[in-house]
Chains A and B, each alone.
Chain A
Amino acid sequence: KAGVTQTPRYLIKTRGQQVTLSCSPISGHRSVSWYQQTPGQGLQFLFEYFSETQRNKGNFPGRFSGRQFSNSRSEMNVSTLELGDSALYLCASSLGQPSYNEQFFGPGTRLTVL
């Protein structure tokens, strides 16, 4: 079975732009979660989706949004980019409810905001 894939792997943007990151979960997994990892704040929870519905959301501003499609693929969008948005964005999928089951992480998308 193919693992979780994330595209693109690397991205460079400038302040004020917007960006869309994509995540394809493991086949059969209906739950997708997103995390941001920075040296200063560590790993922080962004959102969780299940069957196209956002079930939980972390403490991030409204500039961060996401969605999940009927095939379980997910995208996250960051609008009006700030320098502090530079981070590794990780997507994870799980077979069942993510908090109670093993989560499988993708390799991440490294976003650099200049």
Chain B
Amino acid sequence: SQQGEEDPQALSIQEGENATMNCSYKTSINNLQWYRQNSGRGLVHLILIRSNEREKHSGRLRVTLDTSKKSSSLLITASRAADTASYFCATVVGGGADGLTFGKGTHLIIQP
């Protein structure tokens, strides 16, 4: 079963707007990672946030983690057409024996 679940499943916004995607998970985690995938190709790592961190930034990306609610959010500010992709959250539980456990992803479409 999926550990992480992204919400919404699909999101369409205008270029320049901000995009927010959420991820909920079921069990305690070691860390949570966000990845981007363009058109069924390889995944690109965006941000890793550890369980003792609450917020991280990277360029136009902001990730928050609320371990009490078992949820994370990814905010992309000032979106661009090139941000069109699927975004996945992935969790690591315990020592990582199950590898990364991915959610189903949010498909983001940026309208020019």
* Chain A interfacial positions (CB closer than 8 Å to B): 4, 33, 35, 37, 42-45, 48, 56, 58, 88, 90, 92, 97-108, 110
Q: How many inter-chain residue pairs (CB < 8 Å) link A and B?
A: 70
- Show 6 residue pairs from A and B whose CB-CB distance is below 8 angstroms, ordered by the A residue: A33-B99, A42-B102, A56-B96, A98-B96, A103-B43, A108-B41
Q: Are A106 and B42 in contact (CB under 8 A)?
A: yes
Q: Are B30 and A58 in contact (CB under 8 A)?
A: no
Q: Chain B residues near A99 (CB, 8 Å)?
A: 30-31, 92, 95-96, 99-100
Q: Chain B residues near A90 (CB, 8 Å)?
A: 42-43
How big is chain B's contact interface, by range?
20 to 34
Q: Chain B residues near A35 (CB, 8 Å)?
A: 99-100, 102
Prevailing SS type, chain A contact patch = strand
Q: Are A105 and B42 in contact (CB under 8 A)?
A: yes
* Chain B interfacial positions (CB closer than 8 Å to A): 2, 30-31, 33, 35, 40-45, 48, 88, 90, 92, 95-105
Q: Chain A residues near B88 (CB, 8 Å)?
A: 43
Q: Provide the bound-state CA to CA distance between A98 and B43, in Å.
A: 14
Q: Provide the bound-state CA to CA distance between A105 and B43, in Å.
A: 6
Q: Chain B residues near A104 (CB, 8 Å)?
A: 45
